[in-house]
């Protein structure tokens, strides 16, 4: 299914977003805004979180989906709606359809996390698993729309979707009228475009910074080219940002109204997620934590007060476990090393006592005696330790060397 070019849609204006806000009254939550003392200290100015991870369905996507479906004609509603998504958009469309009494079919990739599939079904949508990547799932949904007449609900490339997402910007201005910088993650661009239209119409002095994962950053080359361009492989843990081409509708809005688009690394995303969990007690998915990653990567470059949008909290528990491990490693909280010791009774216990004094927590230990590289009386030990940070890692390694052990790495 194709959509009219962006130029065929009437320009999105503040009144459209205000109308969406009225439509969403009693449907979406006015999510909380919480301060972050840690980031405030780093930035040197107040930093607040806009907590869309606490929105119904766990992300901002309900806003746009509801406005889009509510705007359908009676004939279109009777035909039902169809969407394609690996998670957040799926749940937003499912709940919005249930609230409006519209039949919904959602196509999801075969490997979509089971909790997201289950949640989409529980909201009332019929789920079809198809394809192993989102592009295959999207094609199947569009084919279904052509065959059945169901209305395809695009995740970001429609003015109604953007107007719904823009209501987040109005809430930010109401909750933090002194804001000077808003940091928002960008996938296809619907959220950032909507916020930019809402905020710049009221406060053109507010700086808006978009953030993309470096492994899925379609906007920087598109902005350089002056039009949406497709990028190749998408390599990031941030599923919500795996969009290979900017939307035709949000692109000109982001080009004209968003002041800057930055990229963040996988290590920075992991560290941001870990900070949200430990310091803010917030469960946030990698894409949702991207504004925090940008603040951590260059805190002094932001003019405060800053509002960082936590756009979603739907993260698969197994992925969360891997990300937290990665984040702790990136933050210097894990130390892996190998060392040689004399193979005699009690030698391993003596070495572990050194680690105990150094206050390092042993997560895993491997004791090898049979490697041909070892001497007759030697053993090699591989250690995985939990530490308090980079300085503590250096202290632990130094303690082992001071005790006479040969530390290999």
Catalytic residues: 61, 311
Euclidean distance between CA atoms 180 and 121, whole angstroms: 40
Place of tokens 């992925």: 319
In the structure, how many helices (H) and strands (E) does the chain have? 16, 14
Q: How far is CA 282 from CA 36, 55, 160, 308, 381, in A?
A: 11, 13, 29, 13, 38
What does residue 369 show for φ and ψ, rounded to 5 degrees? -115, -15
Euclidean distance between CA atoms 103 and 83, whole angstroms: 11
Q: How far is CA 295 from CA 4, 23, 40, 217, 303, in A?
A: 37, 33, 10, 18, 11
Strand partners, 279: none
> DSSP states of 187-250 as a string?
SSSHHHHHHHHHHHHH-TTSEEEEEEEGGG--HHHHHHHTS----S----S-GGG--SS--TTH
Q: Omega of the bond prior to 179 within 30 degrees of 0, cis?
A: no
3 state DSSP class of 4? coil
Ramachandran quadrant class, 389 (left: phi over 0; alpha: psi -120 to 50; beta: rest): left
User: Which helix (H) or strand (E) segment is 312 a member of?
Assistant: none
């Amino acid at each position: 299914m194709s959509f009219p070019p962006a130029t065929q849609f009437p320009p999105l204006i503040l009144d459209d977003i205000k109308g969406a806000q009225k439509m969403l009254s009693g449907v979406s939550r006015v999510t909380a805004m919480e301060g972050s003392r840690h980031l405030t200290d780093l930035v040197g100015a107040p930093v607040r979180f806009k907590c869309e991870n606490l929105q119904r369905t766990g992300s901002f996507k309900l806003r746009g989906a509801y406005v889009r479906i509510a705007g359908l004609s009676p004939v279109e509603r009777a035909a039902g709606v169809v969407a394609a998504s690996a998670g957040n958009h799926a749940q937003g469309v499912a709940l919005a359809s249930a609230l409006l009494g519209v039949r919904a079919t959602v196509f999801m990739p075969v490997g979509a996390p089971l909790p997201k599939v289950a949640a989409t079904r529980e909201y009332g949508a019929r789920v079809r698993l198809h394809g192993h990547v989102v592009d295959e799932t999207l094609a199947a949904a569009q084919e279904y729309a052509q065959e059945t007449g169901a209305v395809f609900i695009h995740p970001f490339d429609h003015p109604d979707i953007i107007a719904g997402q823009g209501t987040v910007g109005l809430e930010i201005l109401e909750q933090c009228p002194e804001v000077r910088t808003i940091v928002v993650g960008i996938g296809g661009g619907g959220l950032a475009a909507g916020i930019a239209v809402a905020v710049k119409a009221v406060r053109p002095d507010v700086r808006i910074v978009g953030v993309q994962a470096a492994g899925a950053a379609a906007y920087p080359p598109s902005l350089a080219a002056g039009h949406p361009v497709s990028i190749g492989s998408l390599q990031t843990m941030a599923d919500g940002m795996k969009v290979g081409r900017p939307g035709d509708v949000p692109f000109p809005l982001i080009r004209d109204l968003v002041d800057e688009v930055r990229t963040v690394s996988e290590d920075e995303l992991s560290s941001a997620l870990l900070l949200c969990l430990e310091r803010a007690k917030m469960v946030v998915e990698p894409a949702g934590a991207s504004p925090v990653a940008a603040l951590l990567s260059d805190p002094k470059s932001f003019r405060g007060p800053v509002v960082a949008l936590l756009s979603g909290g739907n993260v698969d528990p197994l992925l969360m476990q891997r990300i937290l491990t990665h984040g702790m490693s990136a933050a210097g909280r894990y130390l892996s090393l190998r060392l040689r010791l004399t193979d005699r009774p009690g030698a391993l216990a003596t070495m572990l006592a050194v680690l105990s004094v150094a206050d390092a927590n042993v997560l895993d230990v491997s004791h090898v005696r049979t490697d041909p590289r070892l001497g007759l009386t030697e053993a090699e030990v591989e250690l995985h330790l939990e530490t308090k940070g980079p300085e503590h890692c250096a202290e632990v390694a130094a303690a082992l060397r001071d005790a006479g052990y040969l530390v290999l790495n």
